[in-house]
């Protein structure tokens, strides 16, 4: 951290420094630079004061034990026991939470005598502005190169080089033709009206007509070319963005809401289209006019031309300042648009809950706040433009006055012709348009660059679960699974699984049992390779999952999740989602195996019945059985059931159990169930407690251990069932 560079003299030279952790909170909880220095003998805590670095606490390393991270209000604290008494070693705000977690892991390793892990918690700062860099990115949002962003947008136009060159040629030709009418007007005044050359009158009129006609033909051709390019480039960007979204792992979606992602796919890419179609062509045309018109003014009469060009540098400087201001304004606007989209998405998906809790008014008020915030940002943007535009317009109007004054004196003095003055006025008035359009172009480009940065932020997100180079192809799996010292945390600061070891034989059924939050679903997520372990490995038939071809792996592993998601479409399409080309007979056989066929044929449209958004036209049990049929048709060698019977009644559960009994043979099955009775037939039960394997064995073996976790879970469930029977009058299955 800034201000703390060298190790303080308070540390004896005989001690070897093992690691240093910077923090941004002092001992009293106030903001301030501090750091934890751990040597092979002592733990030191230093704080930066106006007089220098001060030692505020030190602890004998051999007397420390049980280091742990405690969450505070928007902060984290590293606590350890010192001679049996809890002491705080370091404290930091939540944005430095990863550094605190890293200190905990290193201190634990040091106390255990094991190698200290590298969890990638080094604080990375921008070399230009010293702001913290975003996670998984080396690009500082405050120092991003806008020019590179613009060039990157044009990378998508490389397949259309011919049309780009054609469009550029049309722009330059069109600009040259646009400057012809003032020149022809000058010739009409000086040569025809002043000198009376009648023979040139009709040709010049014809040339004017031809010039105006050509200008409009070029504009029309250029507009059609640009519309084609804009459409193609936007499709390419949206395709690349969607393809990237599909390649990202669940960890990306865990940190973002659906509304924000949809905003980038629709709103941001839509703004890129607007700029590509309307902004960039206009910018090229008006930019060419800004170059050519001053040249024409100097060519007609350089003495008067210099005076006409005096306001232009001031306008350009003002435009540069305005562009920087508008970038900040539009960044805020896009952020608030994402918040609005996220709120709307949540409300639409949670309509049933909102109505159930009579929260309509509260949601309307929250949505109105989002709309108001967005409207205020839009008002600031448009208000800035409305203020700046008249100032530029007035400046350019003064340029016209200067031309009248200087040019009029030139005509009266005989150093300038009346035709030249007429051409000058036409050119100066024509110059006002590109300079004023420049402000709008700045507005467009700022919106485009801000939108492009948000799109490219997603495009640049590293893929943390991807197929390794030279991945192993396995046409048919046997189904053997091995967890070897598997550690994992959804973020680097918090580990969920701690050293899981498990060997599963092909065709074996494993039941996962434990309290909520123990790590059961996390094991399933790792087995499905939704995430990769942070330490250790998971093997399938002796091959690390990270070294398997993803296509072979996904094709042979089936899953029925706790939340059975059905896509909008027919029942047949949902069952055949894993095998779109499956015949109707195969779909029906899978449905029969899942005990779903009978209720499907009772619908008027049978297998062509539309299931509605997220399958809302079906009951929870019906959705679950269709999801199981989808997994059956997929014909996996490894079947994963994550609370597959959580949302069904007892009768439906029995039907599902019958289906599962037919499926288990020849397949490796991992099953999580909240009703322990559904796991009685499992070959082994794995009891997970606080991310570790606490017990393993058959139902009877675990039940025989009266002090075991599984026995306590069964006893608690039986007590709940008795209460259910007493209050409802019906027995509930244990």
Q: What is the mean pLDDT of the chain?
A: 79
Given this model, what pLDDT does residue 19 score?
A: 87
Higher pLDDT among residues 365 and 732, named by residue: 365
Map out the domains of the chain as residue ranges: 17-112, 146-459
Supply the pLDDT for residue 4. 41
User: pLDDT for 42-88, tens place per residue?
Assistant: 999 988 887 778 888 889 998 998 898 887 777 888 999 988 889 99
Q: Cα–Cα distance between 65 and 86 in angstroms, integer? A: 9
The predicted pLDDT at position 3 comes to 39
> Which whole number is the average pLDDT over 304-324?
73
State what percent of residues in the chain have pLDDT above 70: 82
Q: For residues 500 and 448, which has the higher predicted lDDT (pLDDT)? A: 500
Q: How many CA atoms lie within 13 A of 295 on its CB side?
A: 8
Assess whether pLDDT exceeds 90 at residue 483: yes
Q: Above 70 in pLDDT, residue 113? A: yes
Percent of the chain surpassing pLDDT 90: 3
Is residue 645 predicted with pLDDT exceeding 90?
A: no
CA atoms within 13 A on the CB side of 617: 13
Give pLDDT, residue 32: 86
Beta carbons of 573 and 567 less than 8 angstroms apart: yes
Residue 189 in tokens: 């005044």
- Rounded to whole angstroms, how far apart are CA atoms 675 and 647? 11
**Helix, strand, coil percentages, rounded to 5, for the chain:** 55, 15, 25
Which fold is adopted by the domain 17-112? PH-domain like (2.30.29)
For residue 514, pLDDT over 70 is answered with: yes
Mean pLDDT of 341-365: 76
How far does Cα 356 stand from its chain's mean position?
32
CATH of domain 146-459: 1.20.1560.10
Query: Which pLDDT value is given to residue 374?
Result: 83
Give the least confident one: 87-91, 204-208, 467-471, 677-681: 677-681
* Alpha-carbon gap, residue 627 to 522, rounded angstroms: 20
Higher pLDDT, 585 or 656: 585
Mean per-residue pLDDT, 325-330: 70
Q: pLDDT digits over 209-225, tens only?
A: 898 899 889 888 888 88
* Confidence at residue 484, expressed as pLDDT on a 0 to 100 scale: 92
pLDDT tens digits for range 517-567 = 888 888 988 998 888 898 899 999 888 988 888 888 888 888 877 667 788
The per-residue pLDDT for 2 is 38
Q: pLDDT at residue 649 above 70?
A: no
pLDDT for the residue numbered 138: 54
Q: Picking from 141-150, 230-239, 478-487, 594-603, which range would have the lowest pLDDT averaged per residue?
A: 141-150
- The per-residue pLDDT for 213 is 92
CA 530 to chain centre: 17
**Mean predicted confidence (pLDDT) in 721-725:** 63
């Amino acid at each position: 951290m800034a201000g703390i560079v060298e190790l303080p003299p308070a540390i004896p030279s005989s001690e070897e420094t093992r690691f240093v952790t910077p923090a941004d909170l002092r001992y009293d909880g106030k903001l301030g630079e501090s750091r934890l220095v751990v040597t092979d003998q002592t733990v030191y805590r230093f704080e930066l004061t106006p007089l220098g670095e001060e030692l505020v606490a030190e602890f004998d390393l051999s007397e420390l034990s049980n280091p742990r991270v405690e969450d505070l209000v928007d902060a984290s604290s590293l606590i350890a026991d010192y001679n049996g008494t809890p002491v705080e070693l370091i404290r930091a705000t939540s944005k430095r939470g990863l550094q605190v977690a890293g200190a905990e892991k290193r201190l634990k390793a040091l106390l255990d005598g094991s190698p200290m892990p590298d969890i990638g918690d080094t604080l990375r700062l921008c070399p230009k502005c010293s702001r913290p860099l975003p996670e998984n990115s080396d690009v500082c949002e405050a120092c991003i190169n806008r020019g590179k962003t613009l060039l990157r947008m044009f990378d998508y136009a490389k397949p259309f080089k011919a049309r780009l060159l054609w469009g550029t040629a049309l722009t330059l030709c069109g600009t040259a033709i646009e400057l012809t009418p003032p020149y022809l007007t000058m010739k009409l005044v000086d040569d025809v009206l002043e000198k009376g050359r009648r023979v040139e009158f009709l040709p010049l009129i014809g040339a004017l007509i031809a010039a105006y006609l050509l200008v409009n033909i070029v504009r029309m051709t250029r507009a059609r070319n640009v519309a084609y390019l804009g459409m193609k480039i936007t499709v390419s960007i949206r395709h690349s963005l969607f393809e990237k979204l599909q390649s990202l792992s669940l960890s990306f979606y865990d940190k973002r809401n659906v509304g924000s992602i949809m905003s980038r796919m629709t709103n941001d890419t839509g703004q890129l289209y607007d700029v590509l179609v309307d902004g960039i062509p206009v910018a090229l045309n008006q930019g060419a006019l800004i170059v050519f018109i001053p040249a024409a003014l100097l060519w007609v009469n350089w003495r008067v031309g210099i005076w006409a060009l005096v306001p232009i540098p001031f306008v350009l400087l003002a435009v540069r300042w305005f562009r920087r201001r508008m970038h900040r304004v539009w960044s805020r606007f896009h952020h608030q648009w994402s918040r609005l989209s996220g709120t709307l998405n949540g409300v639409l998906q949670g309509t049933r809950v909102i109505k159930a809790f009579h929260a309509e008014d509260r949601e309307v008020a929250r949505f109105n706040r989002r709309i108001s915030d967005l409207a205020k940002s839009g008002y600031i943007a448009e208000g800035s433009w409305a203020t700046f535009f008249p100032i530029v317009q007035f400046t350019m109007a003064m340029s016209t006055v200067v031309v009248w004054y200087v040019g009029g004196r030139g005509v009266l003095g005989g150093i300038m012709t009346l035709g030249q003055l007429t051409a000058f006025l036409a050119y100066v008035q024509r110059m006002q348009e590109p300079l004023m359009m420049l402000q709008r172009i700045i507005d467009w480009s700022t919106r485009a660059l801000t939108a492009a940065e948000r799109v490219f932020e997603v495009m640049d997100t590293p893929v943390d679960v991807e197929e390794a180079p030279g991945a192993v192809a396995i046409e048919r799996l046997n189904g053997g699974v091995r967890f070897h010292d598997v550690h994992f945390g959804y973020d680097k600061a918090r580990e969920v699984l701690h050293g899981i070891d498990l060997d599963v034989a092909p065709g074996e059924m494993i039941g996962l049992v434990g309290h909520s939050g123990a790590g059961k679903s996390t094991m399933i997520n790792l087995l499905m390779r939704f995430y990769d372990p942070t330490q250790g490995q998971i093997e399938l038939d002796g091959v690390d999952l990270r070294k398997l071809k993803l296509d072979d792996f996904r094709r042979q592993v089936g899953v029925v999740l706790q939340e059975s998601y059905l896509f909008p479409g027919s029942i047949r399409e949902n069952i055949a989602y894993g095998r779109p080309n499956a015949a109707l007979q195969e779909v029906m056989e899978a449905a029969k195996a899942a005990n779903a066929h009978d209720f499907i044929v009772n619908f008027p449209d049978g297998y062509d019945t539309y299931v509605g958004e997220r399958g809302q036209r079906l009951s929870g049990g019906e959705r679950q059985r269709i999801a199981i049929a989808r997994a059956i048709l997929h014909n996996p060698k490894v079947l994963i059931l994550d609370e597959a019977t959580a949302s069904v009644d007892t009768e439906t559960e029995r039907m599902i159990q019958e289906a599962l009994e037919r499926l288990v043979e020849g397949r490796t099955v991992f099953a999580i169930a909240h009703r322990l009775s559904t796991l009685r037939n499992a070959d082994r039960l794995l009891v997970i407690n606080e991310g570790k394997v606490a017990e393993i064995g058959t139902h009877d073996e675990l039940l025989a251990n009266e002090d075991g976790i599984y026995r306590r879970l069964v006893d608690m469930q039986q007590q709940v069932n008795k209460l259910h029977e007493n209050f409802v009058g019906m027995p509930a299955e244990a």
